[in-house]
Amino acid sequence: MRVLMRMIRSAAVLLVVAAALAAGGVAFAGLGQPSPWQMGFQQSAAPTMDDIIWFHDFVLWIITAITIFVLALLVMVIVKFNARANPTPSRTTHNTLIEVAWTVIPVVILVVIAVPSFRILFVQVNTPTSDITIKATGKQWYWSYSYPDAKFEFDSIMLKENERKPDQPRLLAVDNEMVVPVNKVIRVHVIGADVIHAFAVPSFGVKMDAIPGRLNETWFKATREGVYYGQCSELCGKDHAFMPIAVRVVSEQAYTAWVADAKKKFARDEGAPATTVAAKTGAMPGTSGGATTE
């Protein structure tokens, strides 16, 4: 009995510590990038991610309640029905009421989880009328962004240690960020040029496979200006960890100015091949050429 009490006491202490850490995690969570000692998600900057965070917290409450309930039942069985406390066990084998209850209640719980889950899934899958379309192409090992309406395309390569400014995060900052205006629906067409990659930006709640020969679509609406980082999220070869995604969300005016600039900066001869950086990526850390597929 004393052992049991000690176990319950240490479980309670653990719960309090976990709750304190979880509450602190909200403060630790970075905007657009991970932060030291972060618990939970990165801060949301899009309605889709608000939904995901809400759903995560909602399911966490349900799981916690179920876990505590099952633990209480186990403790009850251990205490009340051990050989010493209950030397002559009952021979009962059926109880209709309990059997109906333990079938119906889990079904009700699953329905309660399924309804908001499907609602969020439908919102994610159906792109609303979009303001801008951008095509993100995953390549070994960098991303290319094409703005078909403005007719330019550019490559986005991770900055090496000596190229990075002090305020830019390691292994996430890139030379040319994808730029989008704030509060606009951005439709992202995602495709792979060589192997399967995945376009993922945690703060926007976006993750979509980039598959060669298949055009996938996702969308986001960034509601706060800033720089948001993501990473390729499909093992795609040896430099999988070195092809980050950086999205800069700016005001509408700043976006228009950037597009005008980018049209000149990324202008190219229509006859030239789509990508001209194959040689440049050869200089990535530890790269000596040779394709790896996953």
| Residues near Cu ion (CB under 5 A) | 197, 232, 236
Q: Are 55 and 41 in contact (CB under 8 A)?
A: no
The dihedral built from the CA positions of residue 103, 105, 107 and 110, taken in this order, carries a sign that is negative
Sheet strands side by side (includes 178-181): 178-181, 244-250, 226-231
Q: What are phi and psi of 75, to 5 degrees?
A: -60, -40
Nearer CB in complex with Cu ion: 44/146 = 146
Q: Pairing relation of β-strands 185-192 and 178-181?
A: unpaired
Burial 265-293, CB ≥16 within 10 A → b, else e: ebeeeeeeeebeeeeebeebeeeeeeeee
Q: At closest approach, how far in Å is the CB of 83 from Cu ion?
A: 59
Alpha helices in 157-199 (DSSP H): none
Nearest approach in angstroms of CB 156 to Cu ion is 12
Residue nearer to Cu ion on the CB measure, 51 or 239? 239
**At closest approach, how far in Å is the CB of 46 from Cu ion?**
22
Please give the structure tokens belonging to residue 141. Answer: 């090992």
Min dist. Cβ of residue 223 to Cu ion (A): 27
Nearer to Cu ion, 139 or 221 (CB): 139
* 29 versus 188: smaller Cβ distance to Cu ion: 188
Residue 236: CB minimum distance to Cu ion, A: 3
CA-angle at 246, arms to 241 and 251, nearest 5°:
170
Judged by beta carbon, residue 179 or residue 232, the one nearer Cu ion is 232
CB closer to Cu ion out of 177 and 209: 209
Give how far Cα 129 sits from Cα of 132, 136, 187, 190, Å: 9, 19, 9, 18
Residue 200 or 249 with smaller CB distance to Cu ion? 200
Nearest approach, Cβ of residue 130 and Cu ion (Å):
25
Q: Could you tell me the smallest distance in angstroms from the CB atom of residue 146 to Cu ion? A: 17
What's the burial of 99, exposed, middle or buried (CB within 10 Å: 0-12/13-18/19+)?
exposed
Minimum CB distance to Cu ion smaller for 179 or for 236: 236
Q: CB of 158: closest distance to Cu ion in angstroms? A: 12
Sign of the Cα pseudo-torsion (281, 283, 287, 291, in order):
positive
| Euclidean distance between CA atoms 243 and 284, whole angstroms | 10
Q: What are the beta bridge partners of residue 190? A: 136, 216
Q: DSSP H helical segments within 168-211, as ranges? A: none
